[in-house]
Amino acid sequence: MAVSSTPIGLTRGAHVGISVSDLDVAIDFYQALTGRPPVAQGTMHSVRFGNSQGLPDANLRYATINIDGLGIDLIEFQDPVGWRTNGAANRPGSMHLCFKVDDFDAVYKRMKEAGYDFLGEDYTFLAGEVTPDAALGTKVAYFNDPDGTNLEIIEPKGGFAN
């Protein structure tokens, strides 16, 4: 795909959409994670909406959970049903959703005690491993939702990670 280098100017996010296999399980997971209930929930059947996403049709259930400055749209496609992507971090096209925290150690401990399985040990950005130096001291840990969507918690230091 050839795209012009002319700046478009998209600088604000509205929401992230996450396809899920079971909306009820996803709502329970994200509600426990964020402490917030869905602000919208419903169904949709629209050939035109499906076409807008490159699908022949769209018969789906959805819910939106808002966190500060971003909506998380959980979407269960009932027709056409998709398959799990198993989006490992190193696969092109994979993405992750990052949650900013003020006290990484406390949140990480609470999550471990609550039974969240992290993909590896927590990590602190160290000198010699990352540039710029503004990232030094930033703490991160990665985990998955029930469908394998990559998620992260971060306590940024300096000017790193808005």
Q: Could you tell me the CATH number of the domain that includes residue 74?
A: 3.10.180.10
Q: How far is residue 85 from each of residues 93, 135, 137, 139, 158, measured CA to CA in Å?
A: 10, 30, 32, 27, 34
Is 72 in the same domain as 123? no
Q: How far apart are CA 145 and CA 65, in angstroms?
A: 15
Number of domains in the chain: 2
Containing structural domain, residue 43: 15-79
The series of mean pLDDT values per 10 residues for the chain, 162 residues long, is 83 92 97 98 86 84 96 93 79 88 96 95 87 84 94 85 57
Residues 93 and 80: beta-carbon distance below 8 Å = no
Residue with the two structure tokens 């190193």: 90
Instruction: Say what the pTM is.
Output: 0.88
Q: If you count DSSP H runs as helices and E runs as strands, how many of each does the chain have, helices first?
A: 3, 8
